[in-house]
Amino acid sequence: LSSKTIKNILENSVTNEKVEVHGWIRSVRIQKNVSFAMINDGSNLKGLQAILTVEEAKMLTTGTCVRIRGILTQSLGTEQSKELQVHDVKILGECGSDYPLQKKHHSMEFLRENLHLRSRTNTFGTIIRIRNAAVLAFQNFFQKNEFFQVHTPIITSSDCEGGGEVFNISNKLPNINEKSLEQKSQSSDFFGMPVYLTVSGQLHAEMLAYAMSRVFIFGPVFRAEGSLTSRHLAEFWMLEAEIAYLFELEELLNFIEICIKETTKYILDNCSQDISFCNQQIDKELIKCLENTINNSFSRLSYSEAIDVLSKANQKFEFLPKYGYSLHSEHEKYLANNYCCGPVFITNYPKEIKPFYMRINPDDKTVACTDLLVPKIGELVGGSLREERYKILEQNLKKHDRSNDYQWYLDLRKYGTVPHGGFGIGFERYLQYLTGIENIRDVIPFPRAASYCKY
Ligand code: 4AD
Ligand code: MG
């Protein structure tokens, strides 16, 4: 491409070099003899300061798209190291004075009303850059550990989690000839069976792990979540890994811990400007919290220990913690924020409250699983060893009323079964953790939730 990004120019061009910059005007400051304009193209947080004449500046309003040519100079100010002495301004796209993002503080709610424009703010530019870096960090981590990235379907006929939160798809076959249908006694339904948008690619990833040993997937998943909370979306992205030859739950915990630590370190090292911005503007404890994540061992508690801790906690919960019931968000937050002051793995939940695929422990009451809870958010990762023993899995499937449709899942255990396990990281929750952003709708450019689907 012939144009260069501002980030590239700042990193690679020297002072006194002639440069050409493209971007959108963020702000204009007109003084008596000289004027300044901040120009930003999304490639970095601060953009570039342009120094221009009063006449040139008067043509520019916030939001205008420009091409500016000039000379890169050493900045006299302390805010930036280089600035642009302007020779020529060309307006590529004018911007009306009713532009909603005039330079002033905007509430997150206001920005959510303007999804199509909000990525032009510092906060959302930062989130998009960190989101991009996190994808790369995970990609690097899994490739380094000899995983294959595989692609699993979005349309599926299985309901992995069994939580009753699947979106159904039902379409009629297009252009059907009613007569031929009758003759073949086919249904007019497109797939001829109930199909859904996937809630998790795990079951498909398991099939592939039974051949490729280590696989990971990264894609959108869909859940008809009734709960309108700051940590639930109807469409979110999940990073899932499936690992053959995994014999102990502890090994899975160690691997998840290293995965979170390495990717978090990558973000701190490679997005320092953006992370500092979040620390300043969003959460003053952010860097401390991320450094704690990287440098200290994650705590580990069994589910029954966790229930014990919660029962003795000097805190009023809306829901009483009780053995045999799922942990509520307030319980998870208490365990990570107050009790452990950092990430904590909760392991070995009662089998009744977990999905059919989790491996039953020798006590026959609990399953070899874990949820990783982190401060302020609660559950970030869910994972388990998978039931690889044919007979036990067959019984589990019966108990969960799934015997009919899951012969293929049993087949995997019949033909060369293998001890294995895996986990799923909620990508937007991880971004909340990395940025300190409170509402999950603000870490994805186009959030989807109940009664909310803009564009
Ligand atoms: O705990 P979950 O439901 O686990 C699974 O789906 C497994 N099949 C994953 C696996 O082992 N391969 O979801 C995994 C993570 C949660 O820990 C949470 O971080 C996130 O996905 N998550 C959500 N994120 C945003 N919106 C929602 N509605 C979410 N539901 C779960
Ligand atoms: Mg879970």
- Give the Cα separation of 65 and 90 in Å (integer): 9
* Same domain? 64 vs 136: no
Does 356 reside within a domain? yes
In a domain, 183, yes or no: no
Q: Whose CA is nearest to atom 4 of ligand 1?
A: 382
Helices 427-435 and 249-270: crossing angle in degrees, nearest 10, is 50
Instruction: Output the residue whose Cα is nearest ligand 1's atom 6.
Output: 200
411 within some domain: yes
Q: How many domains would you assign to the chain?
A: 2
pLDDT at residue 301 tops 80: yes
- Cα(429) to ligand 2 centroid in Å equals 12
At residue 93 the predicted structure's pLDDT band, cuts being 50, 70 and 90, is very high
pLDDT for 432: 98
Q: 447 lies in a domain?
A: yes
Computed from CA positions of residues 50, 53, 54, 56, in that sequence, does the dihedral angle turn out positive or negative?
negative
pLDDT tens, position by position, 403-428: 778 999 999 999 999 999 999 999 99
Residues 129 and 39 occupy one common structural domain: no
Q: Which of 230, 153, 168, 195 is nearest to 439 (CA)?
A: 230
Nearest CA to ligand 1 atom 1: 382
User: 157 CA distance to ligand 2 centroid (A)?
Assistant: 21
pLDDT digits (tens, 9 = 90+) for 55-76: 999 999 999 999 999 999 998 8
263/303 same-domain check? yes
**Does residue 162 have a pLDDT over 90?**
no
Q: Are residues 245 and 304 in the same domain?
A: yes
Which atom of ligand 1 lies closest to the CA of 225?
28
The per-residue pLDDT for 138 is 98
**203 within a domain of the structure (yes/no):** no
- The ligand minimizing its distance to the Cα of 165 is 1
Q: Give the CATH number of the domain where residue 17 resides.
A: 2.40.50.140
- For ligand 1, the distance from its centroid to the CA atom of residue 424, given in whole angstroms, is 6
pLDDT at position 319? 95
What pLDDT sits at residue 274?
A: 98
Regarding the beta carbon of 225 and ligand 1, being less than 6 Å apart is answered: yes
* Cβ of 238 below 6 Å from ligand 1: yes
Same domain, 363 and 446: yes
202 Cβ below 6 A of ligand 1? yes
Same domain flag for 332 and 415: yes
| Centroid of ligand 1 to alpha carbon of 256 (angstroms) | 14
ipTM rounded to 2 decimals: 0.99
Residues 97 and 133 in one domain: no
Instruction: Return d(Cα 427, Cα 55) in angstroms, integer.
Output: 47
Over residues 323-362, the pLDDT tens digits come to 999 999 999 999 999 999 999 999 999 999 999 999 999 9
pLDDT of residue 100: 93
Please list the alpha-helical segments (H only) found in 31-163: 54-58, 108-113, 115-118, 122-144
Ligand 1 site, residue 329, Cβ cutoff 6 A: no
Are the C-beta atoms of 414 and 390 separated by less than 8 Å?
yes
> So what's the pLDDT on residue 184?
60
* C-alpha to C-alpha distance for 95 and 110, rounded to whole angstroms: 20
**Owning domain of residue 373:** 122-152+209-219+227-453
Q: Band of the pLDDT at 448, cuts 50, 70, 90?
A: very high
Residue 179 confidence (pLDDT) above 80: no
Q: Which atom of ligand 1 is nearest to the CA of 227?
A: 28
Q: Which two tokens stand for residue 307?
A: 């229930």
Task: List, as own/partner pairs, every contact residues 26-35 make where C-beta atoms lie below 8 angstroms and the sequence separation is at least 24, other chains included.
Answer: 26/62, 26/103, 27/62, 27/103, 28/57, 28/60, 28/61, 28/62, 29/57, 30/54, 30/57, 30/58
Please indicate, yes or no, if residue 24 is contained in any of the structural domains: yes
Q: Averaged over 370-390, what is the pLDDT?
A: 98
Question: What is the 370 CA–ligand 1 centroid distance (Å)?
Answer: 12
Q: How confident is the model at residue 434 (pLDDT cuts 50, 70, 90)?
A: very high
Residues 57 and 142 in one domain: no
Q: Is there a single domain that holds both residue 71 and residue 126?
A: no
Q: What is the pLDDT of residue 227?
A: 79
Q: Does 132 share its domain with 70?
A: no
Q: What is the pLDDT of residue 262?
A: 98
Average pLDDT, the chain: 94
Confidence class for position 180, pLDDT limits 50, 70, 90 = low
- Which pLDDT does position 226 carry in this prediction? 82
State whether 36 and 133 are in the same domain: no
**pLDDT band for position 186 (cuts 50, 70, 90):** low
Instruction: Look at residue 228 in the predicted model and tell me its pLDDT.
Output: 85
Ligand 1 centre from 77 Cα, in Å? 47
User: Can you give the CATH number for the domain in which 269 is found?
Assistant: 3.30.930.10
Q: Is 197 a domain residue?
A: no
Asked whether 381 lines ligand 1 (CB < 6 A), one says yes
Task: Assess if residue 312 is contained within a domain.
Answer: yes
- At 102 the pLDDT is 86
Model confidence at 239, pLDDT cuts 50, 70, 90, reads very high
As a whole number, mean pLDDT of residues 389-416 equals 92
CB of 233 closer than 6 A to ligand 1? Answer: yes
Residues 144 and 37 reside in one and the same domain? no
Kindly report, residue by residue over 2-38, the tens digit of the pLDDT.
999 999 999 999 999 999 999 999 999 999 889 999 9
